[in-house]
């Protein structure tokens, strides 16, 4: 489940970009696949259409939920959440695909 991008610097700020490379058939019957990031954070990709996450016609990220509450409508976490992830302070992340 390696991220294609992960941590980087954007406009002088630390960010974490989600860019998984997954075939659609890897998602379970509910359109989900999960893994532990840095051994502490549960990451769940939710792709109910079971589209590949790469190539032509790929599923695109529409929302990121942090610990079931905070929502981002981007493909990346901004510096405050990227630092929290790096410091193993986040319990769960849900990444929703369209």
Q: What are the boundaries of each domain within the chain?
A: 6-97
Q: For residue 2, is pLDDT > 80?
A: no
Question: 59: Cβ–Cβ under 8 A, 6 or more apart, which residues?
Answer: 24, 47, 49, 51, 52, 53, 97, 98
Q: What is the pLDDT of residue 55?
A: 93
pTM higher than 0.85, yes or no? yes
Q: Tell me what the mean pLDDT of segment 42-52 comes to.
A: 97
What is residue 76's predicted lDDT score, i.e. its pLDDT?
A: 94
């Amino acid at each position: 489940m390696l991220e294609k991008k992960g941590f980087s610097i954007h406009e002088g700020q630390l960010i974490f970009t989600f860019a998984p490379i997954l075939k659609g058939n890897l998602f379970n019957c509910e359109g989900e696949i999960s893994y532990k990031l840095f051994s502490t954070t549960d990451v769940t990709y939710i792709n109910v259409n079971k589209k590949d996450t790469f190539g032509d016609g790929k599923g695109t990220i529409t929302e990121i939920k942090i610990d079931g509450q905070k929502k981002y409508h981007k493909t990346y976490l901004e510096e405050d959440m990227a630092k929290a992830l790096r410091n193993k302070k986040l319990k769960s992340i849900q990444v929703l695909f369209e």
